[in-house]
Amino acid sequence: MARHIGRAGLDLIRSFEQFRPNPYRDAVGIWTIGFGAIRGLDGQPVAPTTPRLSPAEADALLERDAGRATGAVNRLIVAPSAQAAFDALCSFTFNLGAGALQRSTLRQTINRCEAAEEELWVRWDMAGGKHLPGLRRRRIAEWSLYADNAVWQAAAPSAPHRSGSGQADARAASPLRGEHHHEVTFAS
């Protein structure tokens, strides 16, 4: 059964993308509108001439694009996770695209039911060859949502749970913890 992005995931995306009713160039120069959409209501790439969006239209684009990210997470992540962890992965995929999730060590780690530590998230903080503080903040927020809420117990009961602060606690569980948008590069 396919899962759906929850309120926490949509709110996280909204908080970082922020509503912009008129076309604008993102950090790497891609025309964008609404909550980070690179395609308008008509499915065409956003351009300077793309009509202004109402908040309801921007929400419709967000739902469309978040649905694409959600489909990719459903397809690529096979390990069990809490809803908040799924939401964090949807936000990551919304921003970076399905290809980034597919080739990431983050996905491989999660699918092995191993702890996906913060470092696996924050390494995806580059766009246009530059480390961007906003992308780093986003990756930390995604990891925090993932790490604080994504505990599975069946696959690795002996691994310590890590709280959002990175401290191991006594719980016998392990954190489980688009084709969209922007060209984001990986820091090697």
pLDDT score for 150: 55
In DSSP terms, which residues pair with 127 in a beta bridge? 130, 184
Tens of pLDDT, residues 130-185: 999 999 999 999 999 999 865 443 233 333 333 344 433 322 222 322 333 333 33
DSSP string of the chain?
------HHHHHHHHHHH--EEEEEE-TTS-EEEETTBSB-TTSSBP-TTSPPPPHHHHHHHHHHHHHHHHHHHHHH--S---HHHHHHHHHHHHHH-HHHHHH-HHHHHHHTT----HHHHHT--EETTEE-HHHHHHHHHHHHHHHHH-EE-SS-TTSEEE-TTS-EEEEE-EE-----S--EE---
CB 3 within 8 A of CB 90: no
Side-chain-facing half-sphere of 168: CA atoms under 13 Å: 8
Question: How crowded is the C-beta side of 12, counted as CA atoms within 13 Å?
Answer: 29
Query: Which residue shows structure tokens 């590069």?
Result: 185
Model confidence pLDDT, tens digit, residues 61-93? 999 999 999 999 999 999 999 999 999 999 999
Q: pLDDT tens digits, residue range 47-62?
A: 999 999 999 999 999 9
Higher pLDDT, 46 or 81: 46
* Whether residue 40 has pLDDT greater than 80: yes
pLDDT at 117: 94
Of 177, 95, 167, 171, whose CA–CA distance to 144 is shortest?
177
111-137 pLDDT per residue, tens: 999 989 999 999 999 998 999 999 999
Give pLDDT, residue 115.
Answer: 87
Instruction: Please state the three-class secondary structure of 144-188 as a single string.
Output: HHHHHHCEECCCCCCCEEECCCCCEEEEECEECCCCCCCCEECCC
pTM of this structure: 0.79
Catalytic residues: 17
Tell me which residue has tokens 């690529």.
76
pLDDT of residue 166: 40
pLDDT at 186 over 70: no
Q: What is the pLDDT of residue 2?
A: 87
